[in-house]
Amino acid sequence: MRRMTLASIVLAMGWLFAVVVWAGSPHMIECSQTISGNTVTVAGKEAGLGNETQVHIELNAEAQCINPGSHHPKAANKESLTAAGDFPVQNGHADFSLSVTASFQPSCSPPMTVIFVDVSACDTEHGVCCSF
């Protein structure tokens, strides 16, 4: 009886471990932000994706047009930006790159400058993000 119980416990733990390994553990291992003029690009790599075929990544950011005195913008010179894409998974990881461009009306031209705040790239299915 005792051997049967011990064998059952070992078998159950092995099965549980196999399920956890198969499911993967999604996480961001690289993430960078590049700003060029009115465009922000976020590129990265998500790993721990197991047998997934693709991931859906969403980029969200707020662009603000700042005056030379570093005064924060009013409602008219802020813009919420979003981009999204599906990226293939190979060997349990996915590389991604998304960009958004601010287009203010009137334009944000010198001496005004564009800054990006609350920038994040998120895998919407697994709930993992990188933020800047």
pLDDT in tens, 28-57: 999 999 999 999 999 999 999 999 999 999
Task: Provide the pLDDT confidence category of residue 21 given band limits of 50, 70 and 90.
Answer: very low
DSSP E strands in 1-132: the ranges are 27-36, 39-47, 54-66, 78-88, 94-101, 113-123, 128-131
pLDDT of residue 77: 82
Residue ranges per structural domain of the chain: 24-131
CATH topology of domain 24-131: Immunoglobulin-like (2.60.40)
- Torsion-angle region of 119 (φ positive above 0: left; ψ -120 to 50: alpha; else: beta): beta
What is the amino acid identity at position 119? V
Q: Which is higher by pLDDT, 62 or 75?
A: 62
Strands lying side by side in the sheet with 27-36 = 27-36, 39-47, 94-101
pLDDT of residue 42: 98
Tens-digit pLDDT profile for residues 95-122: 999 999 999 888 888 888 899 999 999 9
Instruction: Look up the pTM and report it.
Output: 0.78
Q: What is the mean pLDDT of the chain?
A: 86
